[in-house]
Amino acid sequence: MNKLNLYSRALFLCMYLLTMLSCGKFELLKNEDSNGSDAGANLKSQTIQQFLLADHSSDLSELDLFATAVKRSGLMDTLGKSDDYTVVFLSNSGVKQLLSTVGYATVDAVPPVILKNLLGDLIIRGKLKSTDLSLNETRKIETINGNYIYYSRTASTSDQYVLSINQNPTLGSSSALVRSQDLEFKNGVAQVTSQFTFYRLLDDKPDDADPAGNVITQKIKVAKDVFIRGGSGNSNANFNDPATMDLKAISAADATVGRIGVMQYPLDKPTFGDKIGAARMYVYIYNTGLTPTTTFSFSAHLGENKDWVENTITWNNAPTYNAVPMSTLPIPGATVGWVSFDITSAVAQLYANNGTFINVFLRHNVDNFIKLRPKEFSDGLFAAYIMLSSPPQTLLKLGQVSVLNVAAAKQIVPLSLTNLKMEGTADKNITYTVKQVPVAGFLVKYGIPLAANASFSQADIAKGAIKYLYNGSGTSDQIIFEARDQNGGYFESPLKLDIAIQ
């Protein structure tokens, strides 16, 4: 208790008094600071399951959606065992981020096995508190799903126990800051965050394409480009500047500084045929304000299929965008010039679904201005564009496709290279596109469902990132894939993966 400040002690006393007066058991949870605190005897006498089974729809904990999600996932019994667990609790806003990421409107709409797979990666065996970590220590721990979660302790000027989840350079998902930490239960510990985070390794970068001179290219110029700005007084304002597109990460101290680039490109069918070999998006950076020794992470995110107007779009009315980027680049701090993102998978998927345009959102991770040139500047000399390439002759040869066996009781089974493998180039250079989705379950990448025409690499299979989730009915299933190499060459025939459910 020696790390509680006066404010935390007052809150703890209030919680105790509220308990004695038979008020809501955890009503002040959301008001605790990030120093972490003893959850109180009222929680220590409960299992995590008992706490989550209580009604939190009218108290201030903001954990009612998380409790509903745990119930629906089938993990509630696990959290009632005498074994110790450490769980990351998601507040209502965190659960809403989860829903947005998996593409469902409500918790009740999400198939239970998808929730089980994602929430299982927020649970580890044993008790882990912030005080168990040394200053600036990051600990990688296996989850009950067999994936990993990262706990990191840092310090601020006012708090020596700042706890973050999945803040690690090897991960491609957003990290989460713990808002209320070290809440002790009878059978474990809870860490509460308002941000959804999940285990997702960075994608391996394929080798540069070598089309051997037999590829046709086609250029698509950006049609609309602006930046949007958050915060009070800015979220309803339009920033259609003809000279600059300013990007800046949202600061924890000041939400008004956050700026995100928004672009739209038309998707006319390519002149060289129905299939594309590659699609790369080019943008021009003219200033970063960073030193050459620094590096920032620059990411391109697919926006929803919603049209917008360049001179009226704002932070509040802009289309939504996927939290998981299409492509992420490490950019040297003093970079000036063109940089390109591989957006082949998203563009191919939109073409397959007869999309007529693509919205792209651009973000980075530093509290500094990264400045791009818009299409209006210098008569369009630095206007962003997408370069499409036709598919060349493929490098791929068939390795093997064998039945994936799934135990119905287990539900969650990773694909391996014994189930699906091509040869002829490195794993990172082999991409599979889902042409027929399963009907008795779901194919996921790091827990996120893959829709028709979504893609993943053979390297993802090797990492265990691709899993089949059985949804509870049926004794067999099938997925059909299309295979492509890094040059954009397609294997001659579709690959049919049969799934046997026992």
Indicate which CATH number applies to the domain containing 25. Answer: 2.30.180.10
> Mean pLDDT lowest for which of 26-30, 84-88, 241-245?
26-30
The last residue of one of the domains, among 354, 389, 424, is 389
pLDDT for 165-212, tens place per residue?
A: 999 999 988 899 999 999 999 999 999 999 999 999 999 999 988 766
DSSP conformation class of 231: S
The reply to whether 200 falls in a domain is no
Residues 237 and 289 grouped into a single domain = yes
Name the residue with tokens 């490098």.
395
Indicate which CATH number applies to the domain containing 260. Answer: 2.60.120
Q: In angstroms, how far is CA 24 from the centroid of its own chain?
A: 34
The reply to whether 205 falls in a domain is no
Angle at 102 between CA 100 and CA 106, to 5 degrees: 60
The reply to whether 65 falls in a domain is yes
Number of domains in the chain: 3
CA-wise closest residue to 272 among 318, 332, 215? 215
Residues 373 and 448 grouped into a single domain = no
CA-wise closest residue to 64 among 53, 74, 75, 48? 53
Pure H helices in 103-157: 112-119
Greatest Cα pair distance in the chain: 79
Residues 20 and 114 grouped into a single domain = yes
Q: Is the pLDDT of residue 24 over 60?
A: no
Per-residue pLDDT at 19: 42
pLDDT for 33-69, tens place per residue?
A: 334 444 445 789 999 999 999 999 888 899 999 999 9
The reply to whether 203 falls in a domain is no
The last residue of one of the domains, among 371, 389, 407, is 389
The reply to whether 167 falls in a domain is yes
Residues 170 and 296 grouped into a single domain = no
Q: How far apart are CA 311 and CA 417, in angstroms?
A: 50
Burial class (CB in 10 A: 0-12, 13-18, 19+), 306: exposed
Percent of all residues in the chain with a pLDDT value above 70, rounded to a whole number = 90
Q: How far apart are CA 413 and CA 341, in angstroms?
A: 32
pLDDT, the chain, mean: 89
Residues 383 and 402 grouped into a single domain = no
pLDDT for 265-286, tens place per residue?
A: 999 889 888 888 889 999 999 9
Residues 358 and 426 grouped into a single domain = no
pLDDT for 377-405, tens place per residue?
A: 999 999 999 999 888 889 999 999 999 99
The reply to whether 202 falls in a domain is no
pLDDT for 327-351, tens place per residue?
A: 999 999 989 999 999 999 999 999 9
Residues 404 and 385 grouped into a single domain = no
Residues 60 and 31 grouped into a single domain = yes
Per-residue pLDDT at 255: 52
pLDDT for 438-484, tens place per residue?
A: 999 999 999 999 999 999 999 999 999 999 999 999 999 999 999 99
Residues 382 and 406 grouped into a single domain = no
Q: In angstroms, how far is CA 129 from the centroid of its own chain?
A: 25
Which domain covers residue 108, as residue numbers? 6-193
Per-residue pLDDT at 288: 93
DSSP conformation class of 165: E
Residues 74 and 160 grouped into a single domain = yes
Average pLDDT over every residue of 106-116: 97
The reply to whether 32 falls in a domain is yes
Residues 385 and 401 grouped into a single domain = no
